Structure 1
Amino acid sequence: MLTLEEIFPPFALRIAGGPLELAVMRDDDLPELVELVRGGIQDAGAPMPFLRAWHQEPFAPGASDGFPASSVRWWWTQRAICAPADWRLALVVRREGELVGMQDLHAKDFARTRVVRTGSWLGRAHQGAGTGTLMRQLAVGFAFDELGADQCESGYIVGNHASAAVSRKVGYADNGRQRIVQHTQQGEVGAEEQRVVVTPASFVRPEVQPRIAGGDRLRRFLGIEWAPTQR
Protein backbone atom coordinates (compact mmCIF):
# COMPACT_ATOMS: atom_id res chain seq x y z
CA MET A 1 0.00 0.00 0.00
CA LEU A 2 1.26 3.49 -0.84
CA THR A 3 2.10 5.88 1.96
CA LEU A 4 0.49 9.32 2.17
CA GLU A 5 3.87 10.86 1.29
CA GLU A 6 4.06 8.73 -1.87
CA ILE A 7 0.53 9.76 -2.87
CA PHE A 8 1.13 13.47 -2.18
CA PRO A 9 4.90 14.16 -2.00
CA PRO A 10 4.63 17.65 -0.44
CA PHE A 11 3.70 15.87 2.80
CA ALA A 12 7.26 14.49 2.94
CA LEU A 13 8.80 17.96 3.15
CA ARG A 14 10.52 19.04 6.37
CA ILE A 15 12.52 22.26 6.73
CA ALA A 16 14.22 22.50 10.12
CA GLY A 17 16.70 24.81 11.77
CA GLY A 18 17.43 25.53 15.41
CA PRO A 19 14.18 25.15 17.41
CA LEU A 20 11.94 25.42 14.33
CA GLU A 21 10.45 22.89 11.94
CA LEU A 22 8.30 23.76 8.92
CA ALA A 23 6.09 21.12 7.31
CA VAL A 24 3.16 21.10 4.89
CA MET A 25 -0.06 21.36 6.87
CA ARG A 26 -1.95 18.13 7.51
CA ASP A 27 -5.47 17.64 8.78
CA ASP A 28 -4.10 16.56 12.16
CA ASP A 29 -2.67 20.10 12.55
CA LEU A 30 -6.05 21.80 12.17
CA PRO A 31 -7.26 21.69 15.80
CA GLU A 32 -4.03 23.32 17.03
CA LEU A 33 -4.10 25.81 14.17
CA VAL A 34 -7.66 26.88 14.94
CA GLU A 35 -6.83 27.42 18.61
CA LEU A 36 -3.75 29.44 17.67
CA VAL A 37 -5.84 31.77 15.50
CA ARG A 38 -8.44 32.11 18.27
CA GLY A 39 -5.66 33.29 20.57
CA GLY A 40 -5.01 36.25 18.26
CA ILE A 41 -2.65 37.21 15.45
CA GLN A 42 -2.91 40.97 15.10
CA ASP A 43 -1.58 43.35 17.75
CA ALA A 44 -3.93 46.08 18.90
CA GLY A 45 -3.22 49.27 16.97
CA ALA A 46 -1.33 47.49 14.18
CA PRO A 47 -2.72 47.63 10.62
CA MET A 48 -4.76 44.65 9.46
CA PRO A 49 -2.09 42.48 7.80
CA PHE A 50 -4.17 40.43 5.35
CA LEU A 51 -6.27 41.05 2.24
CA ARG A 52 -9.27 39.62 4.10
CA ALA A 53 -9.86 39.72 7.85
CA TRP A 54 -10.34 35.96 8.11
CA HIS A 55 -8.64 35.92 11.51
CA GLN A 56 -11.33 38.19 12.96
CA GLU A 57 -14.35 36.18 11.85
CA PRO A 58 -16.69 35.11 14.69
CA PHE A 59 -15.87 31.67 16.05
CA ALA A 60 -18.73 29.51 14.78
CA PRO A 61 -17.79 25.81 14.74
CA GLY A 62 -20.23 23.81 12.64
CA ALA A 63 -21.33 26.82 10.57
CA SER A 64 -20.37 26.65 6.91
CA ASP A 65 -19.77 30.39 6.55
CA GLY A 66 -17.85 31.11 9.77
CA PHE A 67 -14.48 30.40 11.28
CA PRO A 68 -13.01 27.81 11.26
CA ALA A 69 -14.84 26.20 8.30
CA SER A 70 -14.18 29.15 5.96
CA SER A 71 -10.45 29.08 6.68
CA VAL A 72 -10.20 25.30 6.54
CA ARG A 73 -11.64 25.38 3.02
CA TRP A 74 -8.93 27.86 2.01
CA TRP A 75 -6.16 25.72 3.48
CA TRP A 76 -7.55 22.65 1.70
CA THR A 77 -7.78 24.63 -1.54
CA GLN A 78 -4.05 25.35 -1.38
CA ARG A 79 -3.41 21.62 -1.27
CA ALA A 80 -5.90 20.88 -4.06
CA ILE A 81 -4.33 23.28 -6.59
CA CYS A 82 -0.73 22.29 -5.92
CA ALA A 83 0.66 21.46 -9.37
CA PRO A 84 3.72 22.49 -11.44
CA ALA A 85 2.06 25.48 -13.11
CA ASP A 86 0.57 26.92 -9.92
CA TRP A 87 1.60 25.74 -6.48
CA ARG A 88 1.22 26.89 -2.91
CA LEU A 89 2.78 25.25 0.14
CA ALA A 90 1.03 26.04 3.42
CA LEU A 91 3.72 25.23 5.99
CA VAL A 92 2.90 24.98 9.67
CA VAL A 93 5.68 26.29 11.88
CA ARG A 94 6.50 24.49 15.10
CA ARG A 95 8.91 25.79 17.73
CA GLU A 96 10.17 22.95 19.91
CA GLY A 97 7.08 20.98 18.88
CA GLU A 98 4.48 23.70 19.53
CA LEU A 99 2.55 25.11 16.58
CA VAL A 100 3.26 28.87 16.52
CA GLY A 101 2.35 30.10 13.03
CA MET A 102 2.31 29.50 9.29
CA GLN A 103 4.70 30.21 6.43
CA ASP A 104 3.47 30.10 2.83
CA LEU A 105 5.50 29.59 -0.34
CA HIS A 106 3.75 29.96 -3.68
CA ALA A 107 4.56 30.43 -7.35
CA LYS A 108 3.01 30.47 -10.80
CA ASP A 109 4.89 29.28 -13.89
CA PHE A 110 7.95 28.77 -11.69
CA ALA A 111 9.88 26.86 -14.38
CA ARG A 112 10.01 30.08 -16.41
CA THR A 113 9.93 32.84 -13.80
CA ARG A 114 12.02 31.31 -10.98
CA VAL A 115 10.14 33.66 -8.63
CA VAL A 116 8.67 32.49 -5.31
CA ARG A 117 6.31 34.59 -3.20
CA THR A 118 6.11 34.27 0.56
CA GLY A 119 3.61 35.12 3.27
CA SER A 120 3.61 34.37 6.98
CA TRP A 121 1.99 35.01 10.33
CA LEU A 122 2.58 34.14 13.97
CA GLY A 123 0.25 33.72 16.91
CA ARG A 124 0.39 36.88 19.03
CA ALA A 125 1.80 35.01 22.02
CA HIS A 126 4.80 33.90 19.92
CA GLN A 127 5.77 37.24 18.40
CA GLY A 128 8.90 39.17 19.32
CA ALA A 129 11.13 36.15 20.00
CA GLY A 130 12.95 35.96 16.66
CA THR A 131 10.71 33.19 15.32
CA GLY A 132 9.35 35.29 12.45
CA THR A 133 12.84 36.05 11.16
CA LEU A 134 14.11 32.48 11.39
CA MET A 135 11.07 30.91 9.75
CA ARG A 136 11.33 33.36 6.84
CA GLN A 137 15.07 32.64 6.53
CA LEU A 138 14.43 28.91 6.44
CA ALA A 139 11.71 29.29 3.80
CA VAL A 140 13.70 31.67 1.59
CA GLY A 141 16.85 29.57 1.90
CA PHE A 142 14.85 26.52 0.85
CA ALA A 143 13.49 28.37 -2.19
CA PHE A 144 16.99 29.39 -3.28
CA ASP A 145 18.96 26.27 -2.40
CA GLU A 146 16.46 23.46 -2.99
CA LEU A 147 14.17 24.87 -5.69
CA GLY A 148 16.59 27.11 -7.58
CA ALA A 149 14.61 30.35 -7.23
CA ASP A 150 16.24 33.53 -8.52
CA GLN A 151 14.29 35.81 -6.20
CA CYS A 152 11.66 35.78 -3.47
CA GLU A 153 9.00 38.45 -3.24
CA SER A 154 6.76 39.50 -0.38
CA GLY A 155 4.88 42.51 0.89
CA TYR A 156 3.40 44.14 3.96
CA ILE A 157 0.89 46.84 4.75
CA VAL A 158 2.61 50.17 5.33
CA GLY A 159 2.73 50.71 9.10
CA ASN A 160 3.26 47.03 9.91
CA HIS A 161 6.61 47.66 11.58
CA ALA A 162 7.13 44.08 12.76
CA SER A 163 6.83 42.67 9.24
CA ALA A 164 9.05 45.43 7.87
CA ALA A 165 11.73 44.58 10.44
CA VAL A 166 11.67 40.89 9.56
CA SER A 167 12.04 41.70 5.87
CA ARG A 168 15.07 43.91 6.55
CA LYS A 169 16.72 41.26 8.71
CA VAL A 170 16.32 38.63 5.98
CA GLY A 171 17.80 40.90 3.30
CA TYR A 172 14.74 42.11 1.41
CA ALA A 173 14.89 45.44 -0.40
CA ASP A 174 11.99 47.75 -1.21
CA ASN A 175 10.40 46.96 -4.56
CA GLY A 176 7.74 49.67 -4.99
CA ARG A 177 4.37 50.35 -3.41
CA GLN A 178 0.87 49.62 -4.64
CA ARG A 179 -2.66 50.47 -3.60
CA ILE A 180 -4.77 47.45 -2.65
CA VAL A 181 -8.23 46.77 -1.27
CA GLN A 182 -8.61 45.03 2.09
CA HIS A 183 -11.80 43.30 3.14
CA THR A 184 -12.16 44.21 6.82
CA GLN A 185 -14.91 43.56 9.35
CA GLN A 186 -16.09 47.14 8.67
CA GLY A 187 -16.12 46.72 4.88
CA GLU A 188 -13.72 47.33 2.01
CA VAL A 189 -10.93 49.83 2.59
CA GLY A 190 -7.98 51.05 0.56
CA ALA A 191 -4.48 50.38 1.86
CA GLU A 192 -0.89 50.85 0.73
CA GLU A 193 1.27 47.78 0.40
CA GLN A 194 5.06 47.88 0.39
CA ARG A 195 6.48 45.26 -1.96
CA VAL A 196 9.90 43.76 -1.13
CA VAL A 197 12.29 41.40 -2.89
CA VAL A 198 15.32 39.33 -1.88
CA THR A 199 17.88 37.58 -4.11
CA PRO A 200 20.55 35.01 -3.31
CA ALA A 201 23.10 37.85 -3.25
CA SER A 202 21.21 39.94 -0.68
CA PHE A 203 19.81 37.07 1.40
CA VAL A 204 20.93 37.06 5.05
CA ARG A 205 21.30 33.42 5.99
CA PRO A 206 20.36 32.12 9.44
CA GLU A 207 23.07 31.32 11.95
CA VAL A 208 21.73 27.77 12.26
CA GLN A 209 22.31 25.13 9.60
CA PRO A 210 19.04 24.20 7.83
CA ARG A 211 18.07 20.53 7.61
CA ILE A 212 15.92 19.49 4.67
CA ALA A 213 13.98 16.27 4.12
CA GLY A 214 11.76 15.49 1.17
CA GLY A 215 13.13 18.18 -1.14
CA ASP A 216 13.87 15.72 -3.93
CA ARG A 217 10.32 14.33 -3.84
CA LEU A 218 8.87 17.83 -3.98
CA ARG A 219 11.02 18.83 -6.97
CA ARG A 220 9.87 15.77 -8.92
CA PHE A 221 6.23 16.45 -8.02
CA LEU A 222 6.47 20.08 -9.15
CA GLY A 223 8.60 19.34 -12.22
CA ILE A 224 11.51 21.47 -10.97
CA GLU A 225 14.84 20.68 -12.57
CA TRP A 226 17.43 21.72 -10.05
CA ALA A 227 20.27 20.05 -8.17
CA PRO A 228 20.89 21.50 -4.67
CA THR A 229 24.65 21.14 -5.18
CA GLN A 230 24.38 24.03 -7.68
CA ARG A 231 24.09 26.49 -4.75
Structure 2
Amino acid sequence: MLTLEEIFPPFALRITSGSLDLRVLRDEDFPELVELVRAGIQPPDSPMPFLDAWHEAPFAPGAPDGFPATSLAWWWAQRATFSPDEWRLALTVRHEGELVGVQDIHAKDFPLRRSIETGSWLGRAHQGKGIGTLMRQLVVGFALDELDAAACESGYVVGNRASDAVSRKTGYVENGRRVLVQQTRDGKASVEEQRVVVTPQTYRRPAAPVSVAGADALRRFFGIERGPASAIN
Protein backbone atom coordinates (compact mmCIF):
# COMPACT_ATOMS: atom_id res chain seq x y z
CA MET A 1 0.00 0.00 0.00
CA LEU A 2 1.24 3.50 -0.84
CA THR A 3 2.06 5.87 2.00
CA LEU A 4 0.46 9.31 2.23
CA GLU A 5 3.86 10.83 1.48
CA GLU A 6 4.12 8.82 -1.76
CA ILE A 7 0.62 9.91 -2.78
CA PHE A 8 1.19 13.57 -1.91
CA PRO A 9 4.97 14.31 -1.91
CA PRO A 10 4.75 17.70 -0.12
CA PHE A 11 4.00 15.76 3.07
CA ALA A 12 7.46 14.17 2.85
CA LEU A 13 9.28 17.51 2.93
CA ARG A 14 11.23 18.20 6.11
CA ILE A 15 13.69 21.05 6.72
CA THR A 16 15.59 21.03 10.00
CA SER A 17 18.35 22.98 11.70
CA GLY A 18 19.16 22.53 15.34
CA SER A 19 15.92 22.52 17.33
CA LEU A 20 13.83 23.99 14.48
CA ASP A 21 11.75 21.72 12.23
CA LEU A 22 9.66 22.74 9.20
CA ARG A 23 7.09 20.41 7.61
CA VAL A 24 4.00 20.82 5.46
CA LEU A 25 0.86 21.46 7.49
CA ARG A 26 -1.26 18.35 8.20
CA ASP A 27 -4.78 18.01 9.58
CA GLU A 28 -3.48 16.72 12.91
CA ASP A 29 -1.64 20.05 13.37
CA PHE A 30 -4.87 22.06 13.31
CA PRO A 31 -5.89 21.84 17.00
CA GLU A 32 -2.46 23.04 18.14
CA LEU A 33 -2.41 25.69 15.42
CA VAL A 34 -5.79 27.06 16.50
CA GLU A 35 -4.58 27.44 20.07
CA LEU A 36 -1.42 29.19 18.85
CA VAL A 37 -3.47 31.73 16.89
CA ARG A 38 -5.85 32.29 19.83
CA ALA A 39 -2.87 33.07 22.08
CA GLY A 40 -2.02 36.01 19.82
CA ILE A 41 0.17 36.86 16.85
CA GLN A 42 0.30 40.63 16.55
CA PRO A 43 2.18 42.68 19.19
CA PRO A 44 0.19 45.71 20.40
CA ASP A 45 2.77 48.19 19.06
CA SER A 46 3.04 46.63 15.59
CA PRO A 47 0.97 47.33 12.44
CA MET A 48 -1.45 44.65 11.28
CA PRO A 49 0.81 42.33 9.23
CA PHE A 50 -1.76 40.61 6.98
CA LEU A 51 -3.96 41.68 4.07
CA ASP A 52 -6.94 40.31 5.99
CA ALA A 53 -7.36 40.30 9.76
CA TRP A 54 -8.07 36.56 9.83
CA HIS A 55 -6.22 36.22 13.13
CA GLU A 56 -8.74 38.54 14.78
CA ALA A 57 -11.86 36.81 13.45
CA PRO A 58 -14.48 35.77 16.06
CA PHE A 59 -13.72 32.36 17.57
CA ALA A 60 -16.66 30.20 16.53
CA PRO A 61 -15.87 26.47 16.51
CA GLY A 62 -18.38 24.53 14.43
CA ALA A 63 -19.57 27.62 12.53
CA PRO A 64 -18.79 27.86 8.80
CA ASP A 65 -18.09 31.60 8.77
CA GLY A 66 -15.86 32.03 11.84
CA PHE A 67 -12.41 31.04 13.02
CA PRO A 68 -11.11 28.38 12.67
CA ALA A 69 -13.32 27.06 9.83
CA THR A 70 -12.50 29.95 7.47
CA SER A 71 -8.75 29.51 7.99
CA LEU A 72 -8.94 25.74 7.63
CA ALA A 73 -10.78 26.21 4.33
CA TRP A 74 -7.87 28.36 3.08
CA TRP A 75 -5.23 25.79 4.09
CA TRP A 76 -7.22 22.94 2.57
CA ALA A 77 -7.64 24.91 -0.65
CA GLN A 78 -3.86 25.10 -1.03
CA ARG A 79 -3.70 21.32 -1.39
CA ALA A 80 -6.57 21.23 -3.88
CA THR A 81 -5.04 23.78 -6.27
CA PHE A 82 -1.53 22.38 -6.69
CA SER A 83 -0.11 22.58 -10.21
CA PRO A 84 3.33 23.21 -11.75
CA ASP A 85 1.99 26.63 -12.81
CA GLU A 86 1.08 27.73 -9.29
CA TRP A 87 1.56 26.15 -5.88
CA ARG A 88 1.64 27.04 -2.20
CA LEU A 89 3.18 25.37 0.80
CA ALA A 90 2.17 26.13 4.38
CA LEU A 91 4.99 24.84 6.57
CA THR A 92 4.51 24.34 10.28
CA VAL A 93 7.42 25.61 12.34
CA ARG A 94 8.24 23.61 15.46
CA HIS A 95 10.83 24.60 18.03
CA GLU A 96 11.89 21.72 20.27
CA GLY A 97 8.72 19.92 19.14
CA GLU A 98 6.32 22.79 19.95
CA LEU A 99 4.33 24.46 17.16
CA VAL A 100 5.40 28.12 17.15
CA GLY A 101 4.41 29.51 13.73
CA VAL A 102 3.86 29.02 10.01
CA GLN A 103 6.15 29.68 7.06
CA ASP A 104 4.47 30.09 3.66
CA ILE A 105 5.93 29.63 0.17
CA HIS A 106 4.08 30.63 -3.01
CA ALA A 107 5.21 30.32 -6.62
CA LYS A 108 3.52 31.14 -9.91
CA ASP A 109 4.98 30.02 -13.26
CA PHE A 110 8.05 28.88 -11.35
CA PRO A 111 9.65 26.83 -14.19
CA LEU A 112 9.86 30.07 -16.20
CA ARG A 113 10.28 32.75 -13.52
CA ARG A 114 12.38 30.84 -10.94
CA SER A 115 11.07 33.13 -8.21
CA ILE A 116 9.09 32.39 -5.07
CA GLU A 117 7.21 34.55 -2.56
CA THR A 118 7.65 33.99 1.17
CA GLY A 119 5.56 35.00 4.17
CA SER A 120 5.54 33.94 7.79
CA TRP A 121 4.18 34.51 11.27
CA LEU A 122 5.02 33.48 14.83
CA GLY A 123 2.91 33.21 17.95
CA ARG A 124 3.60 36.18 20.24
CA ALA A 125 5.12 34.00 22.97
CA HIS A 126 7.82 32.88 20.53
CA GLN A 127 8.78 36.22 19.01
CA GLY A 128 12.08 37.97 19.66
CA LYS A 129 14.06 34.73 20.12
CA GLY A 130 15.69 34.43 16.69
CA ILE A 131 13.18 31.82 15.49
CA GLY A 132 11.69 34.12 12.84
CA THR A 133 15.09 34.72 11.27
CA LEU A 134 16.09 31.06 11.25
CA MET A 135 12.80 29.81 9.75
CA ARG A 136 13.11 32.39 6.97
CA GLN A 137 16.75 31.46 6.34
CA LEU A 138 15.77 27.81 6.12
CA VAL A 139 13.00 28.30 3.58
CA VAL A 140 15.06 30.68 1.45
CA GLY A 141 17.96 28.23 1.47
CA PHE A 142 15.57 25.46 0.46
CA ALA A 143 14.27 27.51 -2.46
CA LEU A 144 17.72 28.52 -3.68
CA ASP A 145 19.54 25.22 -3.10
CA GLU A 146 16.86 22.58 -3.71
CA LEU A 147 14.48 24.29 -6.16
CA ASP A 148 17.16 26.32 -7.96
CA ALA A 149 15.24 29.55 -7.44
CA ALA A 150 16.94 32.68 -8.75
CA ALA A 151 15.22 34.96 -6.24
CA CYS A 152 12.90 34.96 -3.24
CA GLU A 153 10.56 37.92 -2.82
CA SER A 154 8.64 39.14 0.20
CA GLY A 155 7.16 42.25 1.71
CA TYR A 156 6.05 43.81 4.98
CA VAL A 157 3.95 46.73 6.11
CA VAL A 158 6.11 49.80 6.64
CA GLY A 159 6.63 50.16 10.38
CA ASN A 160 6.81 46.42 11.08
CA ARG A 161 10.25 46.48 12.68
CA ALA A 162 10.35 42.75 13.39
CA SER A 163 9.75 41.80 9.75
CA ASP A 164 12.27 44.41 8.65
CA ALA A 165 14.92 42.87 10.94
CA VAL A 166 14.21 39.30 9.79
CA SER A 167 14.48 40.35 6.16
CA ARG A 168 17.80 42.14 6.66
CA LYS A 169 19.30 39.23 8.64
CA THR A 170 18.33 36.82 5.85
CA GLY A 171 19.91 38.94 3.14
CA TYR A 172 16.87 40.58 1.58
CA VAL A 173 17.42 44.01 0.02
CA GLU A 174 14.79 46.68 -0.58
CA ASN A 175 12.93 46.38 -3.87
CA GLY A 176 10.51 49.30 -4.00
CA ARG A 177 7.25 50.13 -2.23
CA ARG A 178 3.57 49.83 -3.12
CA VAL A 179 0.21 50.68 -1.58
CA LEU A 180 -2.00 47.78 -0.47
CA VAL A 181 -5.53 47.61 0.88
CA GLN A 182 -6.04 45.71 4.14
CA GLN A 183 -9.33 44.30 5.41
CA THR A 184 -9.22 45.20 9.10
CA ARG A 185 -11.83 44.73 11.85
CA ASP A 186 -12.91 48.32 11.21
CA GLY A 187 -13.11 48.00 7.42
CA LYS A 188 -10.71 48.62 4.56
CA ALA A 189 -7.53 50.63 5.04
CA SER A 190 -4.59 51.52 2.79
CA VAL A 191 -1.06 50.74 3.93
CA GLU A 192 2.38 51.04 2.38
CA GLU A 193 4.27 47.81 1.81
CA GLN A 194 8.04 47.57 1.58
CA ARG A 195 9.01 45.00 -1.05
CA VAL A 196 12.24 43.04 -0.55
CA VAL A 197 14.16 40.41 -2.53
CA VAL A 198 16.98 37.98 -1.75
CA THR A 199 19.21 36.26 -4.31
CA PRO A 200 22.02 33.69 -4.03
CA GLN A 201 24.46 36.60 -3.96
CA THR A 202 22.85 38.36 -0.96
CA TYR A 203 21.51 35.36 1.00
CA ARG A 204 22.83 34.93 4.55
CA ARG A 205 22.94 31.30 5.63
CA PRO A 206 22.22 30.10 9.17
CA ALA A 207 25.20 29.25 11.34
CA ALA A 208 23.98 25.74 12.20
CA PRO A 209 23.93 22.85 9.68
CA VAL A 210 20.71 22.36 7.68
CA SER A 211 19.08 19.06 6.67
CA VAL A 212 16.47 18.69 3.91
CA ALA A 213 14.47 15.51 3.22
CA GLY A 214 11.90 14.89 0.49
CA ALA A 215 13.20 17.46 -2.00
CA ASP A 216 13.66 15.03 -4.92
CA ALA A 217 10.04 13.85 -4.88
CA LEU A 218 8.80 17.40 -4.41
CA ARG A 219 10.71 18.62 -7.47
CA ARG A 220 9.14 15.87 -9.57
CA PHE A 221 5.71 16.78 -8.19
CA PHE A 222 6.21 20.45 -9.14
CA GLY A 223 7.77 19.61 -12.52
CA ILE A 224 11.04 21.36 -11.63
CA GLU A 225 14.03 20.31 -13.70
CA ARG A 226 17.50 21.03 -12.33
CA GLY A 227 20.32 22.42 -14.42
CA PRO A 228 23.53 20.41 -15.01
CA ALA A 229 25.48 22.37 -12.37
CA SER A 230 22.74 21.88 -9.76
CA ALA A 231 22.53 18.16 -10.46
CA ILE A 232 26.23 17.78 -9.67
CA ASN A 233 26.12 19.77 -6.41
Deviations 1:53-94 (A, max 9, x none): 000001110110000000000011111112211000000000
Q: How big is the alpha-carbon RMSD for the aligned residues of Structure 1 and Structure 2?
A: 0.9
SS at 1:195 equivalent = strand
> Within 5 Å, which residues of 2 pair with 1:76-91?
76-91=76-91
Equivalent-residue separation in structure 1 for 2:157 and 2:140 (angstroms): 20
Equivalent-residue separation in structure 2 for 1:92 and 1:36 (angstroms): 11
Equivalent-residue separation in structure 2 for 1:145 and 1:17 (angstroms): 15
Q: Does 1:118 align with 2:114?
A: no
Q: Residue type of the partner of 2:35?
A: E
Q: Which runs of 4+ in 1 moved over 3 A?
A: 227-231
Alignment gaps of 5+ in structure 2: none
Partner of 1:66: 66
Partner of 2:101: 101
Q: Residue type of the partner of 1:73?
A: A
Q: Residue type of the partner of 1:110?
A: F
Deviations 1:94-149 (A, max 9, x none): 00100000001110000000001000000000000000000000000000000000
Deviation at 1:197, TM superposition (A): 0.2
Could you state the TM-score of these two structures normalised by the residue count of structure 2? 0.97
Equivalent-residue separation in structure 2 for 1:105 and 1:208 (angstroms): 22
Equivalent-residue separation in structure 1 for 2:11 and 2:63 (angstroms): 28
Alignment gaps of 5+ in structure 1: none
Percent identity (aligned): 66
SS at 2:166 equivalent = helix
Q: Residue type of the partner of 2:113?
A: T
Equivalent-residue separation in structure 2 for 1:230 and 1:38 (angstroms): 46
Partner of 2:225: 225
Q: What is the aligned residue count?
A: 231
Q: Residue type of the partner of 1:33?
A: L
Partner of 2:181: 181
Partner of 1:50: 50
Equivalent-residue separation in structure 2 for 1:50 and 1:17 (angstroms): 27
